[in-house]
Amino acid sequence: MAQRTALIVYAHQSPGSFNAAVRDVAMEELKEQGYRVLVSDLYAMKFRADATRDDITGDLKNSELFQYGEETMHAWLKGNLSDDIVEEQKKVKEAELIIFQFPLYWFSVPAIMKGWMDRVLTQGFAFSLERMYNNGIFKDKKAMLSFTTGATESMFRPDGINGDINVTLWPLQNGTLHFCGFQVLAPQIFWSPAHCPAPVRSMMLEGWRARLKGLLAERPLTFAPCEFFDLTFQGGFLLSQKVKEERESEPYGLTTGHHLGKPLPPDNQLTAQSATESSAGECRRKD
């Protein structure tokens, strides 16, 4: 059997950080399970975050009006993307699991990791209008966010000062990872390690190690499948009337984003729903 590959896209400046410790646990545990583990240590690589004309080698399709998305798609087709992007795309292709390891910055990933997403997930390579979400290009791969916070867990509750963490995670988990087709595993959140006693931090790392042992067997998070929508510009890519009617008596919205004006489905972006949860059955991935 071919060796399985995991990729850890890692963004922290300090080898002594808690993020580094979390990354090391993942590397050790996945290697133990027989994985070949690739790490993209973005700061060490001095990975460029800015999406510019320099990402394309050779001539542009339209040098009068530079359009990054169009030009990089064209360059990907022609094999004209810059070496650093090609290298990362090769890793993505090889990996069946990608873990994004980072400290939460401004409710999101650090700029260097956002740059990785902007530059590596090129149109054509990672998505197209025909191949997105549950029909996406990476639908046979799994991806997840693993991150540390400054805030405590209660600060990110729906009644906490920062608001619901499910809302914070929606753009990254739905808008980036699932958009490219990835099956998104529940996030691993290390709440406020800097404010925890050392034994609690050790327990967090051991909890992560234990989770990694069964990670690939976990059910992914639930998103609304493309089949629920009218996938035409004429139809506005809107949820079909039939699905709306079917959902009418449901107490909760479909997902964190597709809330349909109802209360958000609890922890939609934090925990995978079990096979027996009825309202999830309809919107589970079809692949």
How far apart, in whole angstroms, are the C-alpha atoms of residue 174 and residue 168?
11
How far apart, in whole angstroms, are the C-alpha atoms of residue 141 and residue 93?
9
> Least separation, in Å, of the C-beta of 21 and ligand FAD?
3
Closer CB to ligand FAD, 79 or 197, in the complex: 197
Closer CB to ligand FAD, 165 or 280, in the complex: 165
List contacts with ligand FAD (CB under 6 A): 12, 16-19, 21, 103-107, 148-151, 193-194, 198, 201-202, 205
Closer CB to ligand FAD, 103 or 136, in the complex: 103
What does the DSSP assignment read for 134-186?
Answer: GG-TTTT-EEEEEEE-SS-TGGGSTTSTT--HHHHHHIIIIIIIITTTPEEPP
> Least separation, in Å, of the C-beta of 221 and ligand FAD?
21
286 Cβ neighbours under 8 A, 6+ residues apart: 134, 225, 227
Angle between helices 18-32 and 198-213 (to 10 degrees): 30
Nearest partner of 216 among 73, 53, 5, 9, judged by Cα: 5
> Least separation, in Å, of the C-beta of 209 and ligand FAD?
12
Closer CB to ligand FAD, 47 or 156, in the complex: 156
| Dihedral over Cα of 93, 99, 105, 110: its sign | negative
Q: What is the CA radius of gyration of the chain?
A: 20
> Least separation, in Å, of the C-beta of 165 and ligand FAD?
10
Closer CB to ligand FAD, 149 or 188, in the complex: 149
Nearest partner of 68 among 118, 116, 138, judged by Cα: 118
> Least separation, in Å, of the C-beta of 26 and ligand FAD?
13
> Least separation, in Å, of the C-beta of 223 and ligand FAD?
24
Closer CB to ligand FAD, 21 or 81, in the complex: 21
If DSSP codes are grouped into helix, strand and coil, which group holds residue 192? coil
